[in-house]
Amino acid sequence: MAAVPATPDAAAATAPPIRAADHFPRVLKPCKAAAEPFFKCFSAATLDPNADGRAALQSCADSMKVYDDCMAKELKGKHTVLYHVPDAYKVAR
């Protein structure tokens, strides 16, 4: 019996949820051109205060991949420690 080809919906159901990489929202100079379309898309997708962040990332997945690939390439082999600001120090909007 032949295997049933996977549908995009089935692949999406088994894929881990989309999330921003650890380097987000940093941009290294060589990645500025790659990051700009992603940040424009993400900003537009999250204009609504009730916007779902994961849905916004999903709608910008193609441009996010270009940004992530560039950042991964530039950060590879460098001793880079990325710190996250504790929630207590973040400013509420």
Stated as kind and residue range, the H or E segment containing 62 is helix 61-75
Burial of 64 (0-12, 13-18, 19+ CB in 10 A): buried
Domain boundaries of the chain, sorted by first residue: 19-78
Instruction: Take residue 25 and report the two structure tokens written for it.
Output: 């929202």
| The pTM of the whole model exceeds 0.75 | no
* CA dist., res. 88 & res. 93, Å (int): 14
> What is the model's pLDDT at position 84?
59
Contact 76, 86 (CB under 8 A): no
Which tens digit of pLDDT belongs to each residue from 33-84? Answer: 999 999 999 989 888 888 887 888 899 999 999 999 999 998 887 766 655 5
> What is the model's pLDDT at position 77?
74
